[in-house]
Amino acid sequence: MRRGSWTWTGILSLIALALGAGVSGPAFSCADPTFLWEKSYNAPANGVDEANGVVIDSSGNIFVVGSETRTDLAEASNWLVRKYDAAGTLLWSSTYNYAGASVDVAEEVALDSSGNIVVAGFANWVSNASGSFVTRKYDTNGHLLWSRTYNPLGVNDDHMAIAVDVDPSGNAYVVGYEDRADLGQGPNWRILKYSSAGALVWATSYNGSSQDQAIDVRTDPSGNVIVGGWVNGGTGGWLLRKYDSAGSLVWSKAGSSVTGTPDACYGLETTSAGGIYAVGRESVGGEGMNWLVQKWDAGGNLLWSRSHNGPANNNDIAKAVRIIADGSIVVVGYEMFNGSNENWLMKSYDSNGALLWSRTIAPVTPEYDEAMDVSSGSDGSFVVVGYDNVAGQNHNWRIQKYSCPLPSNSGSSITPPPAPTEAKGMYVYPHPLKCPGGNAVFEMEKAGTATLRIVNMRGQVVKTVTRDVAASPRAEVFLDCTLVKNGAYLIQGELKYADGTTVRLKPYKFVVAGDR
């Protein structure tokens, strides 16, 4: 239902090709994804094992989080965190049990700029009467760096963390709900900010009426925090709220037009311009709950909305959304196909809301099968996780990987530029880069134009510099970082020579630090 941070190299290289060649017209998009592989996991107890969240790192490694039933160990449900390589080989697996037979579930995972992961979920949950937010940070090898539990009102109050995202500075934002029966309010939205070291920076809440839940969170290029969920058990509609990095509310918007119906926002994604994709469900008379995808601008204005009603006129729900390497979005969830059984459903849309492709994945054993999350790789791949029902084994983890190659350009009026060659590389000095700035250094074999972009660890372009450069074995372009926040970045770029050839510079990781 939930997130995973999107990656950037593929997006930037495609944009670079278009800009470097002066190409105009519609963007390339994936015509139809190619299935690569599937992995499953069934714990020894043959109970409910579900994959809830996924993220792909810059090397193509895949981190998946969820839960496994371990009644064979007298332990009910445990957290489960697993790392796979790009080919689907399991590299390591880590579990967490709060205490004995408590229900402990990892809901979401996010990646920081150093390759560490932050996992959010809940522990010690027993039938809506107890439970705590749990946030745990691991290094890339699965070693626990820190763990934080949040339940300030005591063990008898229901607290559940559902999603997490990490900003370029390593701060983690965790959202979910807390039961405030002590105030006569029921569950309220709860949003926590932790520093990269695990210190609680701030916490804020929202009470709509009753049964209010924050279900997803994303940060944008300006450091704002977008949270989506529902109010009044969904009957008050789905809700989007934007906060600044200090936790102050910027705006609040209802994401569906029909109130009094069980509408909910389940998944979010942010764009490099600060726009927002929000996905979930809306109730429509005679059709049950329909799949809903919306795009909003940074100011909270709705740009477009798309829905889908499955063949059973029943519950069709979008759970997660991710921008993939061609700039389109992939939305995953499920649709009911006969009134009681569910298929995985994947749909792709371009940035204007046009449907590019749609695919359903039949269950192994017809029952309740749900795709819960999706993450994209820099090579055009994406990974979808969730669960399916297998006879005799209950719910199993299900992990599928797809590639999304660009279509051929036959019949198009757009002529793509020649494939760029790889240059020797570049670097930034001084390092760390301190304002007002420093230089990007690279080899310029022939006179031409250099286009450089500073990219944050979320794949969002924060600054672009274009300069005419003379031939030189040591060409330099000044990087003004006055408006660039301290943190870790990549610099990527292309050189376009007068003869039309294009050279792609190897990306270089650097840090902006120091006083302004």
Continuous segment of H or E residues that includes residue 101: none
* pLDDT average, residue stretch 87-103: 90
CATH 2.60.40.2550 domain extents, the chain = 421-512
Q: Output the pLDDT for position 30.
A: 67
> In this predicted structure, which of 15-24, 74-83, 119-128, 330-339 has the lowest mean pLDDT?
15-24
The pLDDT-based confidence of 410 (bands split at 50, 70, 90) is very low
Enumerate long-range contacts of 244-252, CB under 8 Å, 24 or more apart.
245/167, 245/171, 245/193, 246/202, 247/191, 247/193, 247/202, 247/203, 247/204, 250/224, 251/299, 251/300
pLDDT above 90 as % of the chain: 38
Q: Output the pLDDT for position 28.
A: 43
The pLDDT-based confidence of 256 (bands split at 50, 70, 90) is low
> In this predicted structure, which of 21-35, 122-136, 156-170, 273-287 has the lowest mean pLDDT?
21-35
Say if residue 54's pLDDT is above 50: yes
Q: In Å, how far from its chain's centre is CA 489?
A: 18
Closest CA to 504 of 514, 513, 512, 494: 494
CA distance 108 to 121: 7
CA distance 167 to 196: 9
Say if residue 426's pLDDT is above 90: no
Say if residue 22's pLDDT is above 50: no
How many degrees, rounded to 5, is the angle at CA 438 between CA 478 and CA 499?
30
413 versus 172: which is more confidently predicted? Answer: 172
* pLDDT average, residue stretch 31-41: 88
Cβ contact 17:387 at 8 Å = no
pLDDT tens, 429-448? 777 777 677 888 878 888 88
Please list, in sequence order, all residues whose beta carbon lies within 8 angstroms of the beta carbon of residue 30, skipping any fewer than 6 positions away: 324, 326, 328, 348, 356, 357, 380, 404, 405, 406, 407
Say if residue 495's pLDDT is above 50: yes
CATH of 421-512, one of 1.10.10.60, 3.40.50.720, 2.60.40.2550, 3.40.50.300: 2.60.40.2550
Q: Output the pLDDT for position 409.
A: 38
499 versus 52: which is more confidently predicted? Answer: 52
* pLDDT average, residue stretch 200-222: 89
> In this predicted structure, which of 10-24, 64-78, 182-196, 348-362 has the lowest mean pLDDT?
10-24
The pLDDT-based confidence of 375 (bands split at 50, 70, 90) is very high
Say if residue 11's pLDDT is above 80: no
CA distance 178 to 186: 8
221 versus 487: which is more confidently predicted? Answer: 221
12 versus 197: which is more confidently predicted? Answer: 197
* pLDDT average, residue stretch 30-49: 87
421 versus 247: which is more confidently predicted? Answer: 247
Say if residue 263's pLDDT is above 80: yes
pLDDT above 70 as % of the chain: 81
Three-class SS state of 235: coil
172 versus 460: which is more confidently predicted? Answer: 172
CA distance 290 to 227: 21
Q: Which two tokens stand for residue 250?
A: 């910027």
Q: Output the pLDDT for position 13.
A: 35
CATH 2.120.10.30 domain extents, the chain = 9-403
Cβ contact 308:355 at 8 Å = no
* pLDDT average, residue stretch 395-421: 60
Say if residue 94's pLDDT is above 60: yes
Say if residue 301's pLDDT is above 60: yes
321 versus 510: which is more confidently predicted? Answer: 321
Neighbours of 117 (CB within 10 A): 26
CA distance 271 to 332: 18
How does the average pLDDT of the chain come out, rounded? 81
Q: Which two tokens stand for residue 314?
A: 């029943």
Continuous segment of H or E residues that includes residue 445: none
Q: Output the pLDDT for position 98.
A: 83
The pLDDT-based confidence of 481 (bands split at 50, 70, 90) is confident
Task: Classify domain 9-403 at the CATH class level.
Answer: mainly beta
Q: Which of 86-90, 166-170, 347-351, 356-360 has the highest mean pLDDT?
A: 86-90
Q: Output the pLDDT for position 156.
A: 55
